[in-house]
Chain A
Amino acid sequence: MQFGGRRKKNSINPQSELYGQHLQFYGQPPLENISLSEFETFAVERLKLLKTVENLGVSHVKLTDLYISKLEKELKALNFPYRPDADDKKSQSGPTEYEKRRKDHISHFILRLAYCQTEDLRRWFIQQEVDLFRFRFNDLDPKQQLEFLHKNNLRYDTISSEEKLKLKDQLINSSFGVSGITVMEHEFYKVPFQDALDLVRLRKVYLKQGYAYIPHQDIVTIVLNDFRTRLSKALALTARSLPAVHSDERLQPLLNHLSHAYVGQDYSIQKNVGKISLDQIDSLSGKSFPLCMRQLHQSLRENHHLRHGGRMQYGLFLKGIGLSLEQALQFWKMEFIRGKVDADKFDKAYAYSIRHMFGKEGKRTDYTPYSCMKVILSNPPSQGDHHGCPFRHSDPELLKQKLQVYKVSPSGINQILELVKGMHYQLACQKYFELTHNIEDSSFSLNHPNQYFLESQKLLGGGKDIKREMDAPQRSQENAASKGSTATQEVAANTSQHLAEMTEDLDSFFQDA
């Protein structure tokens, strides 16, 4: 890999002071001149890094060994600083530690420019940067962490030993890995609970009167919160200065290109509208729907009703496979009036929200179908719900029964359950795809229910039941074709981040009557 940065060696001293530690809080923007080509390389490589961060976050539990080793590998490959104890020694080949830190610094600020432009872009960028920061902060040993706090002027309130003694039991029972001895040894920080949401959410911290009591080992939460808040403010400020940047006709296309890289296939493009007729849905749901949609379809047919989480997930999926607005209205109405809802009530209480889904009401946003990540991570089903991802949200026992009903072989079921156990829900789903489509190795990486559908239709193409063995040449052709599109597929996962927020508006229209 080539780096423009190597050629112009920057030796001004204040700069090396700036990069005293491998981890940065990005308080100060870079003040040097860089070439356009370096600008571009830096930006593209950081984008690559952030995408890896995102993808790893979906397929692995954050900060598990595998996650750590994969992220380290990527940092190394892209020549970003990755080890806290690395000093500025020249390695045999490749850039020095100083050059890596400089690249880290500059590339971060370039992407700020590209990703400050809209709310969605900002949200995505912040999320990935925060995850990256978390990983690197955790990589520091306690001494280095304190040093980092000190260097960056981060100070947080601690509680007195008397208070600690008084709250000892509560503190032990609300923090992981804190025992009677360690309570007294370590500092506890007291911050408004709003500054430690990740710990509050998981009930991993003691709460009293609106304050969270955070053991030193979890200080990363407060630091991250700080990092997030500052970054978010900085992006808002950058956005305001953007007109100046955008008037530069060399930079503008580059920045636009960078931010566009983030929006990939979202399966909302209505190119296949009307290709499917309503009476095909039943048979399609058995053949080409992923389990999540099959489950929703089935319970809709059984109960003649779906609660709003289900209507959103399934409704947008159907829109994505090509139902027109008229078809969707007809489809939902036909089913609902078989249950407790009469035609009149349907028109008043539900039709609006379906039109809304197609962007015909309210803010007229064209809503995109949910990706696996959104289905798996947000809005888990509760009582009476059938949405969600069966691999994530069903009891393994029930999932097993269901798979048996769907005639998956016992060994296949075992493989699937093994993946589920390791929390690889999408891989489990993909295995299910392979087993039910009679192929050994699917050539795509699944991240969207609509993608599942398209891939399945491709395989079952033209209604003919293509058996793999009989049609080997054609299969390999298709493999090649879909390989070409993996880049876009990879990107598709990114869009789900902002969906959660976008659809929130819609949710308020969807209260169960």
Chain B
Amino acid sequence: MPSSDYDPASLPDLLPLYYRRLFPFSQYYRWLSYGGVQKNYFQNREFSFTLKDDIYVRYQSFSTQNELEKEMQKMNPYKIDVGAVYSHRPSQHNTVKSGTFQALEKELVFDIDMTDYDDVRSCCSAADICSKCWTLMTIAIHILDRALRDDFGFQHRLWVYSGRRGVHCWVCDEAARKLSVAARSAVTEYLSLVKGGDETVKKVVLTEPIHPFISNSLDVVKEYFTQYALHDQDLMGSKESVEKVLALVPEDARSYLQQEFEKEKKPEKRWKLITTEAKRKQVGNFAHSFYIVLHIRTEGLVVLQSVSLKSTAKKGQYFEKEIMLQYCYPRLDANVSKGVNHLLKSPFSVHPKTGRISVPIDVSELDKFDPFSVPTISLICEELDRPRPGEEKEKLGDGKEKEDEKDAIEKRKIRDYKRTSLAKYIKYFDQFLDGMARSWKAERLRKSDLQKEF
């Protein structure tokens, strides 16, 4: 990975600077307070820090932005995780009666990690990523973001680059934060298509009818499939890769395709053979199932039965779609999404291995997002030290006015990050927060209107 300018050994020196002058505390606090709609929402939130030498401290909590700032500047965590909002202050979890300390709410979160795609990428493995396989993350975000918005109606979805090899999503709508464990797991299962571990070969099985969610997801995959799978990953190229694909094809089509592939080497043409074969089967089957319907009708049986016959008859006939999904569909870490109390790495945390900041991703610009251009902590700290002409004057101008100290520090910090490449990510974060603020306002108006009616 070309983060050559970052040296993990320098982290202890850089972190204090980062937390003192660059970390966007005020936005961060604004985010997790959620407009103060619910009491103690920020105060009862669990944070956990990973300190130097992998020392892990859970159940941190803070009563004010100031306290959070002070503590982070003191501890200089290598990694910050955000957990649930609890019934009591997490820092006092030992003092409350056992059983009463409970996780109540949390954003609905998703974690997608490139290592889970190891069986379907040829370019890299494990923690490595490159611009080729990054397409998988792009596809994942497009698919999930659409579903969370259109299917589930969630408005406030924050996508964040993990700093190394994956992405996270924080769904921040009030309804999402209040979801029960059962609801989280239902949403996660609705969104999961790739099933099974190392002991399963065929990981996607579609049945009739194809749900609109799957059709929509397939539309996204189709946009990328030719460039990504056929060219970048050379899916239809090497013998090994072709064999893996053919293992996903029904037996009766396999040998035919094998023969054809002897004659045809071009990846697009080979793929075309697969899709044509699949279509042929679908048509054949449709005629067959139609027959069953008619047949049963003349015998006077109910339609419902013929429908279920139809659906079993059609199983396995979508193999080209199944292959596309097995290779490209997002692979979620379901455990992270299902629990309320699961911790997830915080936005604006630093990845200790790469030094990259965990920055929010603007989905409207998603296809331009390049993980390798995400700033590292060493880069932004360096940018901070670069002198800028005209800066001195500005400082003097500010000094004339009487401001209280906190304000001055706050202002300086804003100027600080604006001088670095972090600026555009924080700006996007601000926009995201403004969007949420608008819904709280609307909600408050609605509530007070309701009150007036009584």
Chain B minimum-CB-distance residue to A199: B186
How far is it, in angstroms, between the C-alpha of A202 and the C-alpha of B193 when the chains are bound?
11
Minimum Cβ distance to chain A for residue B322 (Å): 14
14 residue pairs from A and B, CB less than 8 Å apart: A172-B209, A173-B212, A174-B209, A197-B183, A200-B187, A201-B185, A207-B152, A209-B152, A382-B194, A382-B195, A395-B196, A395-B200, A507-B342, A511-B343
How far is it, in angstroms, between the C-alpha of A383 and the C-alpha of B194 when the chains are bound?
9
1/0 per position for B128-162, CB-CB distance to A under 8 A?
00000000000000000000001111100000000
Minimum Cβ distance to chain B for residue A222 (Å): 14
Residues of chain B within 8 A (CB-CB) of A349 are 54, 56
Residues of chain B within 8 A (CB-CB) of A197 are 182-183, 186
Residues of chain B within 8 A (CB-CB) of A331 are none
Let me know if A397 and B186 touch, CB within 8 A.
no
A156 within 8 A of B: no
B339's partner among A172, A173, A208, A508 (CB-CB below 8 A) is A508
Let me know if B201 and A398 touch, CB within 8 A.
yes
A394 within 8 A of B: yes
Residues of chain B within 8 A (CB-CB) of A193 are 152
Counting contact residues on chain B (CB < 8 A from A), the size range is 35 or more
B366 within 8 A of A: no
Residues of chain B within 8 A (CB-CB) of A508 are 83, 339, 341-343
A388's partner among B119, B180, B197, B334 (CB-CB below 8 A) is B197
B445 within 8 A of A: no
A203 within 8 A of B: yes
Chain A minimum-CB-distance residue to B81: A511
Let me know if A177 and B119 touch, CB within 8 A.
no
B33-57: which have CB < 8 Å to A? 53-56
Minimum Cβ distance to chain A for residue B313 (Å): 14
Let me know if B116 and A203 touch, CB within 8 A.
no
- Choose, from B234-242, B283-291, B304-312, B369-377, the stretch at the interface: B304-312
Let me know if A382 and B197 touch, CB within 8 A.
yes
> Known interface pairs A208-B150, A507-B335. Does A173 touch B190 (Cβ–Cβ under 8 Å)?
no
A144 within 8 A of B: no
A369-399: which have CB < 8 Å to B? 379-388, 390, 393-395, 397-399
A390's partner among B54, B182, B199, B308 (CB-CB below 8 A) is B199
Let me know if B212 and A170 touch, CB within 8 A.
yes
Residues of chain B within 8 A (CB-CB) of A279 are none
Minimum Cβ distance to chain B for residue A31 (Å): 34
How many residue-residue contacts, CB under 8 A, span A and B?
143
A393's partner among B83, B180, B181, B196 (CB-CB below 8 A) is B196
Minimum Cβ distance to chain B for residue A118 (Å): 10
Minimum Cβ distance to chain B for residue A53 (Å): 19
> Known interface pairs A197-B183, A348-B56. Does A382 touch B196 (Cβ–Cβ under 8 Å)?
yes
Residues of chain B within 8 A (CB-CB) of A210 are 152-154, 175
> Known interface pairs A201-B190, A208-B151, A398-B199. Does A504 touch B331 (Cβ–Cβ under 8 Å)?
no
Minimum Cβ distance to chain B for residue A138 (Å): 14
> Known interface pairs A174-B212, A177-B308, A200-B186. Does A209 touch B153 (Cβ–Cβ under 8 Å)?
yes
Seed contacts A173-B210, A173-B212; 4 additional CB < 8 Å A-B pairs: A174-B212, A194-B180, A382-B331, A388-B199
A230 within 8 A of B: no
Let me know if A386 and B198 touch, CB within 8 A.
yes
Minimum Cβ distance to chain B for residue A4 (Å): 38
Residues of chain A within 8 A (CB-CB) of B215 are 173
A147 within 8 A of B: no
